[in-house]
Amino acid sequence: MMILDSIRLTHVPLLTLVLFFLSPLPVSPGESPAPPSPPPSAWQELEPGLELGEFAAPVKSESGDSIIRVLRINPKYFQLRLLNASASPDKKSLSAREFSERNHLAAAINASMYQQDFLRSVSLMKTGDHVNNSYFSKDKNILVFDPETDALPPVKLLDVDCDDFSFWRNQYRTLVQSIRMISCTGANVWYQSPKKWSTAAVGLDQHGKVLFLHVRSPYSTHDLVEIVLGLPLEIDRLMYTEGGPEAQLYIQAKNKVYEFLGSYESSLGNFENPSKGWPIPNVIGAVRKSGNKP
């Protein structure tokens, strides 16, 4: 109020008063004004080639933290690996954490939904000479990696509507088929449903980086795709790999460990925090390339 007391308001035009209070503070000679602070990044580098992004969903879920978590993997530093319980001597399913710890993975996520035998995927799945399931289903996405030559991209997410799978299937040693979430034209292809659940998914961005996506809070898959399309991910394609309590993402990078677990479908009225990951038969893992130390 000291400034106002020193001004005779009856003799100062209103515009002058407005300009007076909006004028920047004087800067001492030789002193530059501080630049504006950059907005905080949603990405945290865990180690070279491995970044964890956490994005608050614009539409809040009825349960949980409504956070979309994305692990961004640079194929320059990491290669993908498919691990199957069906290829192990004891045929035993493991959690994503257990698969990672036993096989020295930097990260692991569900490879796909599986059948009642707790071994076979619901669709085509093979790696090298091991065939988990030879059935080529109607699902339109096939994640391929382990290229036959170094001239090929290390990872591709094929869409049967716009890619010649009969050609590409012979160029890669690992094939994982599952349900398409985003079409090759960038459209949401999932019908709306009242059912909501946790989700695990695998995708590629426009720069060829692999995305492991996990959302614990329950969303309908249609709504989740709409949310993901609105995030700054530069996402190209996205493939559904699991839902509900089986959905999990495990990360161990340097001295940091993260474990994200799904929960039950919201319509069942049970959305509790599980204490450990469920056993699952198939995971996609990220393995550090030779010379890339955590």
Domain boundaries along the sequence of the chain: 43-288
Residue range 72-77: mean pLDDT, rounded: 98
Q: How many CB atoms lie within 10 A of CB 92?
A: 12
* Residue 273 predicted with pLDDT over 80: no
Residue range 255-267: mean pLDDT, rounded: 83
Q: How large is the greatest C-alpha to C-alpha distance in the chain, in angstroms? A: 93
∠ CA 201-243-146, rounded to 5°: 35
* Residue 270 predicted with pLDDT over 90: no
Q: How many CB atoms lie within 10 A of CB 285?
A: 23
C-alpha to C-alpha distance for 84 and 130, rounded to whole angstroms: 9
Instruction: Give the pLDDT confidence score for residue 34 in this predicted structure.
Output: 53
| Partners of 84 in the β-ladder | 282
C-alpha to C-alpha distance for 49 and 287, rounded to whole angstroms: 11
Q: What is the pLDDT of residues 217-234, one digit of tens each?
A: 999 999 999 999 999 999
pLDDT tier, 181 (very low <50, low <70, confident <90, very high otherwise): very high
Lowest mean pLDDT among 26-35, 100-109, 271-280: 26-35
Q: What is the pLDDT of residues 98-144, one digit of tens each?
A: 999 999 999 999 999 999 999 999 999 999 999 999 999 999 999 99
C-alpha to C-alpha distance for 119 and 132, rounded to whole angstroms: 8
CA 292 to chain centre: 22
* Residue 30 predicted with pLDDT over 90: no
Instruction: Give the pLDDT confidence score for residue 265 in this predicted structure.
Output: 62
In this prediction, what percent of the chain has a pLDDT beyond 90? 79
pLDDT tier, 26 (very low <50, low <70, confident <90, very high otherwise): very low
Instruction: Give the pLDDT confidence score for residue 40 in this predicted structure.
Output: 56
